[in-house]
Structure 1
Amino acid sequence: MMSYAQWGNALYSGKKSYQIIKNRRIFIGIGLTFIAISLIGLAIFGINPSIDFKGGTDFTVTNTATNPPQQPAYDALKAAGVTENPKVFQMGTNGLRVQTSQLPIETETIIQGELAKAYKVDVKNVSKGSIGPSWGASVSRQAAIGLAVFMGLIALLLMSYFRTWTMAAAALIALMHDLLITVGVFAFTQVEVTPATIIGLLTILGYSLYDTVVVFDKIRENTKDMLNQSRSKYDELANLSINQTMVRSINTSITAILPVSAILFLGSLLLGASTLRDISMPLFIGMIVGTFSSIFIATPLLTIIRDHSKVIQDHNKKVDTARAKALEDGTAKLNEDGTVALPTAASVAAPIVPGHHLGQTAQPKRKKNKK
């Protein structure tokens, strides 16, 4: 059994390869299934926006007993004449946060007293803040504008960097895949969406984009002189690029997910810090989904788009012709799966260029002097 380092070296050299492009319809189908489930969740449950988006009143109770129960908060609002069902969150080990819709100032003052009485704290330890519906609508509008501007700038950046619209389109579709699935998880769990959540969403889009750009950059390197050779097709070189960057994607994901998971599960779930949960939960979900999309969604989508190009189709015909000729000459054989086994690896990073260093094994051997 090979070690992790040996496995990575085998993937990079092409000695070991996972046929991701060959099975691209399966992986894209999986992605579409998760997107469909997310859309169903959004249609049925919708997202749960915080008062920062819809407006309302926020009460914070501090210096309570350790791990205070939530039921006294519901009873306090009922005693103040509030019939709606409020949102109650624990803050740390000695605090609570209660959110309601917009209330009159007189009612807010009554609720402050009832909460102080319920948790046996001074009224000074019960703070309140109000956000109007117009402010909430403004925050929602600014969040939507920020997301649209982000996607537009990313499209321009990718087109200018790769000098092709195909990679930009595939990367943006993969980003939308990550965004929809992450939002779908929030719809099913009904975890509150706050401005910190939006920051987390934008962060994971940048993370996912970085991972995708690494793979695309390797594809560009491997296909730089592709049309000057007749050994490898575009899909084969794209598949090689995924395998060559797979270890890097896994390592980057693990090192990023570990601290985020610590913040999510230790900081928010155990300590009750809701603000940490608001930003760490989309990061945790998005990094996992982003790693999947950069390997199994973005590049397969790119190959589907590029396969419709006449240049790629003509090149593939040239490769097929060369392989058919190799079969006739007896320099190649058919594998059990119907592929052509050439004397050298079919998927090579680039055509051999005269004058370039071809490795130690290609150098002339020095003859030993005979005595």
Structure 2
Amino acid sequence: MGKFSRLGHELSTGHKSYDFIGRRPFWYSLSGGIVLAALLVVIFNGFNFGVEFTGGTEIQVSGLSSTDAGQGTADTLREKVAATGIEAAAQPEVATAGSNGVTITVKELTESEQAKVTDVIESVVTIDNPKDQLTVSSIGASWGQQVARRALIGVGVFLVIVMLFIGMYFREWKMSIAALCALIHDVLITMGIYSLSGFSVTPAAVTGLLAILGFSLYDTVVVFDKVRENTHDLRASKTTYAKAANLAVNQTLVRSINTGIVALIPIGAILAVSMIQLGASTLKDLALAQFVGMAVGVFSSVWVAPRILVHLKSNESEVVLAERRAKAKAKANVDPYANVPSFAEDMPLGEGAELGVPTDAEQGPARARGPVVRDSRAAGRPQPSREPRSKRTK
């Protein structure tokens, strides 16, 4: 932990630096390739929408004993129903309902398929009166579609408000564009991984997707705030916009990593518990969307958003002038004595200062290049003298 703290101090002071802004083609290609792969997965693999969006069948079992209404019974029912071979019941959602009930939710079943599923249920739990204890009902898809429509409206309003806020806070619309690009990057990658996992898209998954928007933007705003601080006066800082932005990313790197780890540990624990112990559940859908989105959000706030911002700012006059000053300074530092005039036989005496010949102190090691002719400014004038002390006392 001490080494990590020292690393954070070195990054903050600039003694150590990683290039997060350079190699633009490589990182654009990498991020673009990941996003393209996510889009292809979504297009060709699609999503496994839950019954809330497609409609389905819900079977409620009530009047069970406390032993039959436990989590162990729910896990057994999930396995037995999935093993029936019915496609619509391949991924059932089974949950306890109170202290004496169990609810099984699957996709829409035919009458024969419903009878097969109820037979499986009766083989697992003790049901004395099936007509009273078993309730089969259909779930319409209208509620899920309404949730999806409102979620899209909420995302649109959220993005507009966030862009306006970032633009007004930083007084820089290009930061809003960069933050929006990073946000789209995070959402698309999360959707691709979610599609690849085959998890059901439920209202909980939509909620998790909306939650990562805030986390991703929060980390990006922290980095942008440091960028604004470092690039406040490029002329005084004698650096370029890209270098100042890269320093800002390095200074906030440890903070971004710590924030991401702290957020990912509990979400990862929830994901592991829901997958291993709870099986198919809305908690698993929520945790997966948040876990992937938060991890990708840390990546985008460090590698994507600052790079896009520097790219958008590269044509501004102040940024271009800073680049020119930095290039001129770097060229001068290659040979600091390249402009020192060399001695010539026909050089007029006494005109060294007018010709720009440096003094001994100014020339330093360059004096070895050859003799320097300069006016002593003392020729033809009486020089001050100092009498010895023995004569001054007389």
TM-score (norm 2): 0.74
Alignment of 1:1-371 (within 5 A): 3-59=3-59, 63=69, 66=73, 67-68=75-76, 70=78, 72-73=80-81, 84=88, 86-91=90-95, 97-101=104-108, 113-122=118-127, 123=130, 126=134, 128-229=136-237, 231-272=238-279, 274-329=281-336
Distance of aligned partners of 1:254 and 1:126 in 2 relative to their CA distance in 1, 3 Å threshold: farther
Aligned partner of 1:41: which letter?
Answer: V
Task: Tell me the distance in 2 between the aligned counterparts of 1:13 and 1:54.
Answer: 55
Percentage of pairs with the same residue = 35
Conserved? CA contact 1:264–1:277, under 8 Å: yes
SS of the residue aligned with 1:57?
strand
Query: Per-residue CA shift, 1:216-253, capped at 9, x if unaligned?
Result: 00000111122444x20000000000000000001101
Task: Tell me the distance in 2 between the aligned counterparts of 1:115 and 1:100.
Answer: 16
Post-superposition shift, 1:96?
Answer: 6.7
Task: Tell me the distance in 2 between the aligned counterparts of 1:180 and 1:225.
Answer: 36
Conserved? CA contact 1:77–1:114, under 8 Å: no
Task: Tell me the distance in 1 between the aligned counterparts of 2:316 and 2:143.
Answer: 49
Distance of aligned partners of 1:313 and 1:60 in 2 relative to their CA distance in 1, 3 Å threshold: farther
Conserved? CA contact 2:77–2:124, under 8 Å: no
Task: Tell me the distance in 1 between the aligned counterparts of 2:293 and 2:337.
Answer: 50
- Structure 1 runs of 4+ with >4 Å offset: 74-78, 83-86, 106-113, 123-129
Distance of aligned partners of 1:166 and 1:74 in 2 relative to their CA distance in 1, 3 Å threshold: closer
Task: Tell me the distance in 2 between the aligned counterparts of 1:59 and 1:102.
Answer: 11
Distance of aligned partners of 1:12 and 1:84 in 2 relative to their CA distance in 1, 3 Å threshold: closer
Query: Per-residue CA shift, 1:95-118, capped at 9, x if unaligned?
Result: 673312276xx8898577435423
Aligned to 1:357: none
Distance of aligned partners of 1:191 and 1:267 in 2 relative to their CA distance in 1, 3 Å threshold: closer
Aligned partner of 1:138: which letter?
Answer: Q
Post-superposition shift, 1:132?
Answer: 1.8
Conserved? CA contact 2:175–2:309, under 8 Å: yes
Task: Tell me the distance in 2 between the aligned counterparts of 1:24 and 1:125.
Answer: 64
Conserved? CA contact 1:38–1:181, under 8 Å: yes
Distance of aligned partners of 1:279 and 1:232 in 2 relative to their CA distance in 1, 3 Å threshold: same
SS of the residue aligned with 2:182?
helix
Conserved? CA contact 2:83–2:90, under 8 Å: no
Task: Tell me the distance in 2 between the aligned counterparts of 1:277 and 1:128.
Answer: 25
Conserved? CA contact 1:73–1:118, under 8 Å: no
TM-score (norm 1): 0.78
Distance of aligned partners of 1:284 and 1:8 in 2 relative to their CA distance in 1, 3 Å threshold: same
Conserved? CA contact 2:35–2:188, under 8 Å: yes
Query: Per-residue CA shift, 1:269-316, capped at 9, x if unaligned?
Result: 223361211211111111111111110111011111111223311221
Post-superposition shift, 1:129?
Answer: 4.9
Conserved? CA contact 2:55–2:107, under 8 Å: no
Aligned partner of 1:321: which letter?
Answer: A
Task: Tell me the distance in 2 between the aligned counterparts of 1:112 and 1:215.
Answer: 54
Aligned partner of 1:253: which letter?
Answer: G
Conserved? CA contact 2:92–2:280, under 8 Å: no
Task: Tell me the distance in 2 between the aligned counterparts of 1:318 and 1:256.
Answer: 42
Aligned partner of 2:125: which letter?
Answer: K
Aligned partner of 1:68: which letter?
Answer: T
Distance of aligned partners of 1:41 and 1:325 in 2 relative to their CA distance in 1, 3 Å threshold: same
Q: Quick check: which has more Rg, 1 or 2? A: 2
Conserved? CA contact 1:208–1:287, under 8 Å: yes
In structure 1, the gaps of 5 or more residues are 332-371
SS of the residue aligned with 2:92?
strand
Task: Tell me the distance in 2 between the aligned counterparts of 1:20 and 1:74.
Answer: 48
Task: Tell me the distance in 2 between the aligned counterparts of 1:298 and 1:128.
Answer: 51
Distance of aligned partners of 1:252 and 1:125 in 2 relative to their CA distance in 1, 3 Å threshold: farther
